[in-house]
Amino acid sequence: MYLPVHFEETRTPVLHDLLSAHPLATWVVQGADGLVVNHIPFLIDTDRGPFGTLVGHVARANPVWRQLAASVAVFQGPQAYVSPNWYPSKHAHGKAVPTWNYAVVHAHGTPRAVDSRDALLDIVTRLTQAHEAGQAAPWAVSDAPADFIEQMLKAIVGIEMPIERLVGKWKVSQNRSEADRLGTEAGLRHQGEAQALAMAALVAERPSGKR
Residue 26's CATH number: 2.30.110.10
Number of structural domains, the chain? 1
Q: Tell me whether residue 114 is in a domain.
A: yes
Q: Tell me whether residue 17 is in a domain.
A: yes
Cβ atoms 99, 187 nearer than 8 A: no
Cβ atoms 99, 82 nearer than 8 A: yes
Q: Tell me whether residue 94 is in a domain.
A: no
pLDDT per residue as tens digits for the range 14-41: 999 999 999 999 999 998 889 999 999 9
Q: Tell me whether residue 146 is in a domain.
A: yes
Is a pLDDT exceeding 80 seen at residue 210?
no
pLDDT of residue 96: 80
Note the residue count of the chain: 211
Nearest to 28 by CA among 4, 77, 64: 64
pLDDT of residue 209: 62
**What predicted TM-score, i.e. pTM, was given to this entire model?**
0.93
Q: Tell me whether residue 195 is in a domain.
A: no
Contacts of residue 24, defined as CB under 8 A and 6 or more positions apart, other chains included, come to 39, 40, 41, 75
Nearest to 48 by CA among 163, 168, 167: 163
Q: Tell me whether residue 182 is in a domain.
A: no
Of the candidate ranges 54-58, 90-94, 200-204, the one whose mean pLDDT is the lowest? 90-94
Of the candidate ranges 66-70, 82-86, 92-96, 151-155, the one whose mean pLDDT is the lowest? 92-96
Beta bridge partners of 36: 29
Looking at residues 142-170, what average pLDDT do you find?
A: 97
How many other C-beta atoms are found inside a 10 Å radius of the C-beta of residue 111? 22
What DSSP letter does each residue of 141-177 carry, written as one string?
GGGS-HHHHHHHHHTEEEEEEEEEEEEEEEESSTTSB
Q: Tell me whether residue 205 is in a domain.
A: no
Looking at residues 175-194, what average pLDDT do you find?
A: 95
pLDDT of residue 77: 97
Beta bridge partners of 165: 108
pLDDT per residue as tens digits for the range 94-152: 778 999 999 999 999 999 999 999 999 999 999 999 999 999 999 999 999 999 999 99
Query: How does residue 211 score in pLDDT terms, banded at 50, 70 and 90?
Result: very low
pLDDT of residue 103: 98
Domain of residue 33: give its range.
Answer: 5-83+99-176
Q: Provide the angle, in degrees to the nearest 10, between the axes of the packed helices 178-191 and 194-205.
A: 160
pLDDT of residue 95: 75
Contacts of residue 145, defined as CB under 8 A and 6 or more positions apart, other chains included, come to none
Q: Tell me whether residue 67 is in a domain.
A: yes
